[in-house]
Amino acid sequence: KDGRILSAGSKDILSQNPEFSEIPEFHPSTQDISNCYVLPGFIDIHCHGASLFDFTSGMFDINKQSFCSKEKSWTIGLPGYARWKLHEGVTSFYMATLAAPIRLLRKCLQYLARYMQGETNGKEGAFVRGGFLEGCFFNPRMSGAQNTRYILKPEKEIFDEINESGAIRLVNVVPDYGEPSFKLIRELTSCGITVGAGHTDATADQFREAVKCGLKYVIHFTNGPTGGSYKPFNGGGVIEAALQTDEVYVEQICDMYHVNPAYIRDIIMRKGVDKVIAITDQTFVTGTNIRKFTLGGINGEVSSDGAYIGVVGKPNTLFGSCLTMDKAFSNLLSLLTRDMQGVWYRQHTAMPFDSAMLAATGMCSTNPAKMLGLLDDLNEGTGAIQSGKWADLLIAKIEGSPGSYRLKILDVFVRGNHLLSL
Protein backbone atom coordinates (compact mmCIF):
# COMPACT_ATOMS: atom_id res chain seq x y z
CA LYS A 1 0.00 0.00 0.00
CA ASP A 2 1.07 3.59 -0.81
CA GLY A 3 3.85 2.63 -3.20
CA ARG A 4 3.95 4.53 -6.48
CA ILE A 5 2.60 2.14 -9.10
CA LEU A 6 3.92 2.38 -12.64
CA SER A 7 1.31 1.77 -15.37
CA ALA A 8 -1.71 1.43 -13.08
CA GLY A 9 -2.47 4.97 -11.95
CA SER A 10 -2.36 5.60 -8.21
CA LYS A 11 -4.56 2.75 -6.97
CA ASP A 12 -3.42 0.19 -4.45
CA ILE A 13 -3.30 -3.41 -5.63
CA LEU A 14 -4.03 -6.83 -4.24
CA SER A 15 -2.13 -9.83 -5.51
CA GLN A 16 -4.69 -12.61 -5.64
CA ASN A 17 -2.37 -15.44 -6.52
CA PRO A 18 -1.61 -15.48 -9.39
CA GLU A 19 -3.42 -12.35 -10.66
CA PHE A 20 -3.81 -8.67 -9.75
CA SER A 21 -7.00 -7.02 -8.58
CA GLU A 22 -7.66 -3.50 -7.32
CA ILE A 23 -7.92 -2.93 -3.57
CA PRO A 24 -9.49 0.45 -2.70
CA GLU A 25 -9.71 -0.13 1.06
CA PHE A 26 -7.48 -1.61 3.78
CA HIS A 27 -6.75 -5.32 3.45
CA PRO A 28 -5.33 -7.51 6.26
CA SER A 29 -2.31 -8.55 4.17
CA THR A 30 -1.45 -5.01 3.06
CA GLN A 31 2.28 -4.23 2.88
CA ASP A 32 3.25 -0.61 3.49
CA ILE A 33 5.77 0.41 0.83
CA SER A 34 5.75 4.18 1.21
CA ASN A 35 8.50 5.95 -0.76
CA CYS A 36 8.90 2.90 -3.00
CA TYR A 37 7.92 2.15 -6.57
CA VAL A 38 5.94 -0.84 -7.78
CA LEU A 39 6.93 -1.82 -11.32
CA PRO A 40 5.83 -4.66 -13.59
CA GLY A 41 8.45 -7.38 -13.54
CA PHE A 42 11.15 -7.06 -16.17
CA ILE A 43 11.10 -9.37 -19.21
CA ASP A 44 14.49 -10.28 -20.68
CA ILE A 45 13.94 -11.77 -24.13
CA HIS A 46 17.64 -12.17 -24.93
CA CYS A 47 20.00 -13.71 -22.37
CA HIS A 48 22.51 -16.57 -22.58
CA GLY A 49 23.43 -17.21 -18.95
CA ALA A 50 25.36 -15.97 -15.92
CA SER A 51 27.32 -17.16 -12.89
CA LEU A 52 29.21 -19.84 -14.91
CA PHE A 53 26.08 -21.18 -16.67
CA ASP A 54 25.79 -20.93 -20.45
CA PHE A 55 22.54 -22.22 -21.89
CA THR A 56 24.13 -23.68 -25.03
CA SER A 57 27.33 -25.16 -23.58
CA GLY A 58 26.52 -25.98 -19.93
CA MET A 59 28.42 -25.11 -16.74
CA PHE A 60 31.91 -23.62 -16.97
CA ASP A 61 34.56 -25.45 -14.92
CA ILE A 62 37.02 -22.82 -13.71
CA ASN A 63 39.73 -25.38 -12.92
CA LYS A 64 39.55 -27.07 -16.32
CA GLN A 65 38.76 -23.82 -18.18
CA SER A 66 36.13 -25.65 -20.19
CA PHE A 67 32.41 -26.41 -20.19
CA CYS A 68 30.80 -29.49 -18.70
CA SER A 69 28.06 -30.75 -21.02
CA LYS A 70 26.64 -33.40 -18.68
CA GLU A 71 22.94 -33.34 -17.84
CA LYS A 72 23.55 -31.86 -14.40
CA SER A 73 24.85 -28.67 -16.03
CA TRP A 74 21.29 -27.91 -17.12
CA THR A 75 19.34 -29.53 -14.28
CA ILE A 76 21.33 -27.36 -11.88
CA GLY A 77 22.04 -24.44 -14.21
CA LEU A 78 18.51 -23.61 -15.37
CA PRO A 79 16.85 -23.33 -11.93
CA GLY A 80 19.94 -21.56 -10.63
CA TYR A 81 19.78 -19.05 -13.45
CA ALA A 82 16.04 -18.52 -12.89
CA ARG A 83 16.82 -17.61 -9.28
CA TRP A 84 19.64 -15.35 -10.46
CA LYS A 85 17.29 -13.39 -12.70
CA LEU A 86 15.08 -12.49 -9.71
CA HIS A 87 17.91 -10.34 -8.35
CA GLU A 88 17.71 -8.29 -11.56
CA GLY A 89 13.96 -7.76 -11.17
CA VAL A 90 13.25 -10.19 -14.01
CA THR A 91 10.04 -12.22 -13.71
CA SER A 92 9.98 -13.72 -17.24
CA PHE A 93 12.81 -14.55 -19.63
CA TYR A 94 13.81 -16.47 -22.76
CA MET A 95 17.03 -18.49 -23.01
CA ALA A 96 19.15 -17.68 -26.05
CA THR A 97 21.38 -20.10 -27.94
CA LEU A 98 24.71 -19.50 -29.61
CA ALA A 99 25.62 -20.94 -33.01
CA ALA A 100 26.51 -24.56 -32.25
CA PRO A 101 26.23 -28.11 -33.64
CA ILE A 102 22.63 -29.25 -34.08
CA ARG A 103 23.07 -32.07 -31.56
CA LEU A 104 24.08 -29.58 -28.87
CA LEU A 105 21.21 -27.22 -29.69
CA ARG A 106 18.74 -30.10 -29.53
CA LYS A 107 20.12 -31.20 -26.18
CA CYS A 108 20.00 -27.83 -24.42
CA LEU A 109 16.50 -27.18 -25.77
CA GLN A 110 15.32 -30.57 -24.53
CA TYR A 111 16.51 -29.70 -21.03
CA LEU A 112 14.80 -26.33 -21.35
CA ALA A 113 11.50 -27.93 -22.38
CA ARG A 114 11.68 -30.27 -19.42
CA TYR A 115 12.24 -27.38 -17.02
CA MET A 116 9.52 -25.24 -18.60
CA GLN A 117 7.00 -28.03 -18.14
CA GLY A 118 8.12 -28.83 -14.59
CA GLU A 119 6.26 -27.83 -11.45
CA THR A 120 9.02 -25.52 -10.20
CA ASN A 121 9.11 -23.18 -13.22
CA GLY A 122 8.15 -19.73 -11.93
CA LYS A 123 7.85 -20.96 -8.35
CA GLU A 124 11.51 -20.92 -7.34
CA GLY A 125 12.74 -18.24 -9.72
CA ALA A 126 11.77 -16.16 -12.73
CA PHE A 127 9.41 -17.84 -15.20
CA VAL A 128 11.17 -19.36 -18.23
CA ARG A 129 8.89 -18.79 -21.21
CA GLY A 130 10.92 -20.49 -23.92
CA GLY A 131 14.01 -20.60 -26.04
CA PHE A 132 15.43 -18.08 -28.48
CA LEU A 133 17.31 -19.62 -31.42
CA GLU A 134 19.78 -16.83 -32.14
CA GLY A 135 22.54 -18.73 -33.90
CA CYS A 136 22.22 -20.72 -37.15
CA PHE A 137 20.26 -18.61 -39.66
CA PHE A 138 22.50 -15.53 -39.93
CA ASN A 139 24.94 -13.84 -42.32
CA PRO A 140 28.56 -15.05 -41.94
CA ARG A 141 29.90 -11.58 -42.74
CA MET A 142 28.00 -10.24 -39.72
CA SER A 143 28.87 -13.03 -37.29
CA GLY A 144 30.19 -10.89 -34.44
CA ALA A 145 30.88 -13.37 -31.61
CA GLN A 146 29.00 -16.24 -33.31
CA ASN A 147 30.93 -19.13 -34.86
CA THR A 148 30.39 -19.20 -38.64
CA ARG A 149 31.10 -22.96 -38.75
CA TYR A 150 27.56 -23.56 -37.53
CA ILE A 151 25.60 -21.39 -39.94
CA LEU A 152 22.70 -23.34 -41.44
CA LYS A 153 20.40 -22.87 -44.42
CA PRO A 154 17.12 -21.15 -43.52
CA GLU A 155 14.90 -24.20 -43.96
CA LYS A 156 11.92 -25.39 -41.92
CA GLU A 157 13.19 -28.99 -41.94
CA ILE A 158 16.41 -27.91 -40.23
CA PHE A 159 14.49 -25.81 -37.72
CA ASP A 160 12.18 -28.74 -36.93
CA GLU A 161 15.18 -30.98 -36.33
CA ILE A 162 16.60 -28.48 -33.84
CA ASN A 163 13.22 -27.81 -32.22
CA GLU A 164 12.27 -31.42 -31.59
CA SER A 165 11.42 -30.44 -28.00
CA GLY A 166 9.08 -27.61 -29.05
CA ALA A 167 10.74 -25.18 -26.63
CA ILE A 168 11.63 -22.43 -29.12
CA ARG A 169 9.51 -19.27 -29.04
CA LEU A 170 11.78 -16.78 -30.84
CA VAL A 171 14.05 -17.27 -33.87
CA ASN A 172 16.65 -15.18 -35.66
CA VAL A 173 16.13 -15.41 -39.43
CA VAL A 174 18.03 -12.84 -41.46
CA PRO A 175 16.34 -11.65 -44.70
CA ASP A 176 19.70 -11.80 -46.50
CA TYR A 177 18.96 -15.07 -48.34
CA GLY A 178 15.88 -13.75 -50.10
CA GLU A 179 13.02 -16.16 -50.78
CA PRO A 180 14.38 -19.01 -48.59
CA SER A 181 14.44 -16.55 -45.68
CA PHE A 182 10.97 -15.20 -46.47
CA LYS A 183 9.56 -18.71 -46.73
CA LEU A 184 10.95 -19.72 -43.34
CA ILE A 185 9.69 -16.51 -41.73
CA ARG A 186 6.19 -17.19 -43.05
CA GLU A 187 6.29 -20.80 -41.85
CA LEU A 188 7.54 -19.93 -38.37
CA THR A 189 5.10 -17.06 -37.96
CA SER A 190 2.21 -19.33 -38.91
CA CYS A 191 3.29 -21.62 -36.05
CA GLY A 192 3.09 -18.79 -33.53
CA ILE A 193 6.84 -18.23 -33.32
CA THR A 194 8.15 -14.66 -33.13
CA VAL A 195 10.85 -13.92 -35.72
CA GLY A 196 13.56 -11.28 -35.51
CA ALA A 197 16.64 -10.43 -37.55
CA GLY A 198 20.14 -9.91 -36.21
CA HIS A 199 23.68 -10.41 -37.52
CA THR A 200 22.23 -9.23 -40.81
CA ASP A 201 23.38 -7.22 -43.82
CA ALA A 202 20.10 -7.35 -45.72
CA THR A 203 19.02 -4.51 -47.95
CA ALA A 204 16.13 -2.33 -46.84
CA ASP A 205 14.02 -3.87 -49.61
CA GLN A 206 14.74 -7.37 -48.30
CA PHE A 207 14.00 -6.28 -44.76
CA ARG A 208 10.65 -4.73 -45.68
CA GLU A 209 9.67 -7.89 -47.56
CA ALA A 210 10.56 -9.91 -44.47
CA VAL A 211 8.31 -7.65 -42.38
CA LYS A 212 5.45 -8.41 -44.76
CA CYS A 213 6.15 -12.11 -44.13
CA GLY A 214 5.94 -11.66 -40.36
CA LEU A 215 9.31 -10.37 -39.11
CA LYS A 216 8.67 -8.37 -35.93
CA TYR A 217 11.93 -7.02 -34.57
CA VAL A 218 15.64 -6.37 -34.97
CA ILE A 219 17.93 -8.28 -32.64
CA HIS A 220 20.44 -6.10 -30.72
CA PHE A 221 19.85 -3.22 -33.15
CA THR A 222 23.10 -1.58 -34.40
CA ASN A 223 25.06 -4.49 -32.89
CA GLY A 224 25.68 -7.99 -34.11
CA PRO A 225 26.56 -6.16 -36.35
CA THR A 226 23.56 -4.62 -38.12
CA GLY A 227 24.08 -3.55 -41.73
CA GLY A 228 23.28 -0.10 -43.05
CA SER A 229 23.92 2.04 -46.10
CA TYR A 230 23.90 5.77 -46.69
CA LYS A 231 23.33 5.18 -50.39
CA PRO A 232 19.83 5.01 -51.93
CA PHE A 233 20.29 1.67 -53.68
CA ASN A 234 17.78 -1.01 -52.61
CA GLY A 235 16.39 1.43 -50.07
CA GLY A 236 19.50 1.35 -47.88
CA GLY A 237 20.16 -1.30 -45.25
CA VAL A 238 18.58 -2.75 -42.12
CA ILE A 239 19.37 0.29 -39.98
CA GLU A 240 17.52 2.57 -42.36
CA ALA A 241 14.60 0.18 -42.85
CA ALA A 242 14.15 -0.56 -39.14
CA LEU A 243 14.07 3.12 -38.24
CA GLN A 244 11.55 3.87 -40.99
CA THR A 245 9.25 0.89 -40.40
CA ASP A 246 7.01 1.96 -37.53
CA GLU A 247 5.63 -1.47 -36.63
CA VAL A 248 9.07 -3.01 -36.11
CA TYR A 249 10.54 -3.25 -32.61
CA VAL A 250 14.27 -2.91 -31.92
CA GLU A 251 16.33 -4.47 -29.14
CA GLN A 252 18.95 -2.37 -27.38
CA ILE A 253 21.75 -3.65 -25.15
CA CYS A 254 21.71 -0.78 -22.66
CA ASP A 255 25.11 -1.23 -21.01
CA MET A 256 26.36 2.02 -22.59
CA TYR A 257 29.17 0.13 -24.36
CA HIS A 258 27.41 -1.85 -27.08
CA VAL A 259 25.68 1.30 -28.28
CA ASN A 260 26.91 4.85 -27.77
CA PRO A 261 24.45 6.58 -25.37
CA ALA A 262 23.95 9.35 -27.93
CA TYR A 263 22.73 6.77 -30.45
CA ILE A 264 20.44 5.17 -27.87
CA ARG A 265 18.71 8.51 -27.32
CA ASP A 266 18.47 9.01 -31.08
CA ILE A 267 16.97 5.54 -31.57
CA ILE A 268 14.43 6.09 -28.80
CA MET A 269 13.49 9.43 -30.33
CA ARG A 270 13.15 8.01 -33.86
CA LYS A 271 11.36 4.75 -32.98
CA GLY A 272 9.37 6.04 -30.03
CA VAL A 273 9.59 4.66 -26.48
CA ASP A 274 6.94 2.05 -27.28
CA LYS A 275 9.06 0.27 -29.93
CA VAL A 276 12.37 -0.14 -28.06
CA ILE A 277 13.07 -3.27 -26.00
CA ALA A 278 15.87 -3.34 -23.43
CA ILE A 279 17.82 -6.61 -23.30
CA THR A 280 20.96 -7.85 -21.55
CA ASP A 281 22.48 -10.36 -24.05
CA GLN A 282 24.04 -11.57 -20.81
CA THR A 283 26.74 -14.26 -20.85
CA PHE A 284 28.05 -16.85 -18.39
CA VAL A 285 30.87 -14.60 -17.14
CA THR A 286 28.34 -12.19 -15.59
CA GLY A 287 28.79 -12.21 -11.82
CA THR A 288 32.16 -14.01 -11.97
CA ASN A 289 35.85 -13.05 -11.89
CA ILE A 290 36.60 -14.76 -15.20
CA ARG A 291 38.69 -12.60 -17.51
CA LYS A 292 39.51 -14.89 -20.46
CA PHE A 293 37.54 -17.77 -21.94
CA THR A 294 36.54 -19.69 -25.05
CA LEU A 295 32.86 -20.13 -25.88
CA GLY A 296 31.50 -21.71 -29.04
CA GLY A 297 35.01 -21.79 -30.46
CA ILE A 298 35.39 -18.00 -30.06
CA ASN A 299 37.89 -16.43 -27.64
CA GLY A 300 36.60 -13.69 -25.36
CA GLU A 301 38.21 -11.31 -22.88
CA VAL A 302 36.53 -9.22 -20.19
CA SER A 303 37.65 -5.58 -19.92
CA SER A 304 39.93 -4.63 -17.02
CA ASP A 305 37.05 -2.93 -15.19
CA GLY A 306 34.68 -5.86 -15.81
CA ALA A 307 32.22 -3.66 -17.71
CA TYR A 308 32.17 -5.38 -21.11
CA ILE A 309 33.51 -8.38 -23.06
CA GLY A 310 35.51 -8.20 -26.27
CA VAL A 311 36.20 -10.80 -28.96
CA VAL A 312 39.93 -11.52 -29.06
CA GLY A 313 41.43 -10.53 -32.41
CA LYS A 314 38.38 -8.50 -33.47
CA PRO A 315 38.84 -4.88 -32.39
CA ASN A 316 35.61 -3.13 -31.33
CA THR A 317 33.65 -6.42 -31.52
CA LEU A 318 31.87 -7.23 -28.27
CA PHE A 319 30.94 -10.66 -26.94
CA GLY A 320 27.53 -10.58 -25.29
CA SER A 321 27.54 -8.54 -22.09
CA CYS A 322 27.91 -8.46 -18.31
CA LEU A 323 24.71 -6.40 -18.08
CA THR A 324 21.79 -7.05 -15.73
CA MET A 325 18.23 -5.80 -16.27
CA ASP A 326 18.19 -3.64 -13.14
CA LYS A 327 21.32 -1.92 -14.44
CA ALA A 328 19.73 -1.54 -17.89
CA PHE A 329 16.72 0.17 -16.26
CA SER A 330 19.02 2.44 -14.23
CA ASN A 331 21.02 3.35 -17.33
CA LEU A 332 17.88 4.21 -19.30
CA LEU A 333 16.41 6.29 -16.49
CA SER A 334 19.69 8.19 -16.13
CA LEU A 335 20.02 8.67 -19.88
CA LEU A 336 16.49 10.01 -20.28
CA THR A 337 16.72 12.50 -17.41
CA ARG A 338 19.64 14.53 -18.68
CA ASP A 339 20.16 16.97 -21.52
CA MET A 340 22.57 15.61 -24.10
CA GLN A 341 23.68 15.82 -27.69
CA GLY A 342 22.63 13.15 -30.12
CA VAL A 343 24.29 12.10 -33.35
CA TRP A 344 21.34 12.19 -35.74
CA TYR A 345 19.55 14.71 -33.48
CA ARG A 346 21.29 17.90 -32.43
CA GLN A 347 19.98 17.98 -28.86
CA HIS A 348 17.89 15.85 -26.51
CA THR A 349 16.08 17.53 -23.64
CA ALA A 350 15.84 15.77 -20.29
CA MET A 351 12.48 14.09 -19.67
CA PRO A 352 10.54 14.80 -16.48
CA PHE A 353 11.25 12.06 -13.94
CA ASP A 354 7.78 10.48 -14.10
CA SER A 355 7.84 10.37 -17.91
CA ALA A 356 11.30 8.81 -17.88
CA MET A 357 10.17 6.20 -15.34
CA LEU A 358 7.25 5.20 -17.55
CA ALA A 359 9.50 5.07 -20.62
CA ALA A 360 12.14 2.90 -18.92
CA THR A 361 9.42 0.63 -17.54
CA GLY A 362 7.95 0.24 -21.01
CA MET A 363 11.29 -0.72 -22.53
CA CYS A 364 12.06 -3.25 -19.79
CA SER A 365 8.57 -4.71 -19.29
CA THR A 366 5.61 -3.60 -21.37
CA ASN A 367 7.16 -3.43 -24.84
CA PRO A 368 8.52 -7.01 -24.92
CA ALA A 369 5.20 -8.26 -23.55
CA LYS A 370 3.31 -6.36 -26.24
CA MET A 371 5.52 -7.62 -29.07
CA LEU A 372 5.17 -11.22 -27.90
CA GLY A 373 1.42 -11.02 -27.40
CA LEU A 374 1.74 -11.46 -23.64
CA LEU A 375 0.23 -8.12 -22.69
CA ASP A 376 -3.25 -9.12 -23.83
CA ASP A 377 -2.95 -12.85 -23.21
CA LEU A 378 -6.04 -13.96 -21.27
CA ASN A 379 -4.19 -16.81 -19.57
CA GLU A 380 -0.62 -15.59 -19.18
CA GLY A 381 -0.96 -11.80 -19.37
CA THR A 382 2.03 -9.89 -18.02
CA GLY A 383 4.08 -6.75 -18.67
CA ALA A 384 1.81 -4.28 -16.86
CA ILE A 385 0.22 -3.89 -13.45
CA GLN A 386 -3.43 -4.27 -14.35
CA SER A 387 -6.37 -6.18 -12.98
CA GLY A 388 -6.49 -9.73 -14.35
CA LYS A 389 -2.82 -9.94 -15.38
CA TRP A 390 -0.22 -12.15 -13.75
CA ALA A 391 1.02 -10.62 -10.49
CA ASP A 392 4.58 -10.24 -11.79
CA LEU A 393 6.05 -7.20 -10.08
CA LEU A 394 8.99 -5.75 -8.26
CA ILE A 395 9.17 -3.25 -5.42
CA ALA A 396 12.14 -0.91 -5.56
CA LYS A 397 13.59 2.40 -4.50
CA ILE A 398 15.15 4.93 -6.84
CA GLU A 399 18.38 6.46 -5.58
CA GLY A 400 20.38 9.31 -7.08
CA SER A 401 19.55 12.44 -9.02
CA PRO A 402 18.64 13.41 -12.60
CA GLY A 403 21.15 11.93 -15.03
CA SER A 404 22.49 9.48 -12.45
CA TYR A 405 19.88 7.15 -10.99
CA ARG A 406 20.09 3.67 -9.52
CA LEU A 407 17.26 1.18 -9.14
CA LYS A 408 17.50 -0.67 -5.82
CA ILE A 409 15.33 -3.80 -5.84
CA LEU A 410 13.67 -4.75 -2.56
CA ASP A 411 11.10 -7.44 -3.40
CA VAL A 412 10.13 -9.53 -6.42
CA PHE A 413 6.86 -11.39 -7.00
CA VAL A 414 6.24 -13.97 -9.73
CA ARG A 415 2.61 -14.92 -10.34
CA GLY A 416 1.77 -13.47 -6.93
CA ASN A 417 4.41 -15.52 -5.12
CA HIS A 418 6.87 -13.48 -3.07
CA LEU A 419 10.13 -15.07 -4.25
CA LEU A 420 12.75 -12.49 -3.31
CA SER A 421 13.18 -10.03 -0.45
CA LEU A 422 16.43 -8.09 -0.13
> Which pLDDT score, from 0 to 100, does residue 336 have?
99
The percentage of residues in the chain with a pLDDT greater than 90, rounded to a whole number, is 85
With bands split at pLDDT 50, 70 and 90, how would you rate the model's confidence at 264?
Answer: very high
pLDDT of residue 186 exceeding 70: yes
Of 77-86, 147-156, 210-219, 373-382, least confident by mean pLDDT is 373-382
> Mean of the pLDDT values across residues 348-376?
97
For residue 35, what pLDDT is reported? 86
Torsion of the alpha carbons at 319, 322, 327 and 329, rounded to the nearest 10: 30
Tell me: pLDDT of 88 over 50.
yes
Residue 9 scores a pLDDT above 50: no
Q: Please tell me the distance from the alpha carbon of residue 112 to that of residue 160, in angstroms, as a whole number.
A: 16
Q: Which of 348, 335, 336, 389 is nearest to 366 (CA)?
A: 389
The mean of the pLDDT values for the chain is: 93
Instruction: Please report, for the chain, the start and end positions of each structural domain, with discontinuous segments joined by +.
Output: 4-133+246-421
Look up the CATH architecture of domain 4-133+246-421: Alpha-Beta Barrel (3.20)
Closest Cα to residue 277, out of 335, 196, 220, 331? 220
Least confident of 22-36, 136-150, 271-285, 286-300: 22-36
Q: Confirm if 199 and 222 have CB atoms less than 8 A apart.
A: no
| pLDDT tens, residue by residue, 286-312 | 999 999 999 988 999 999 899 999 999
Q: Compute the distance between CA of residue 244 and CA of residue 30 in angstroms, rounded to an integer.
A: 47
Q: Amino acid identity of 200?
A: T
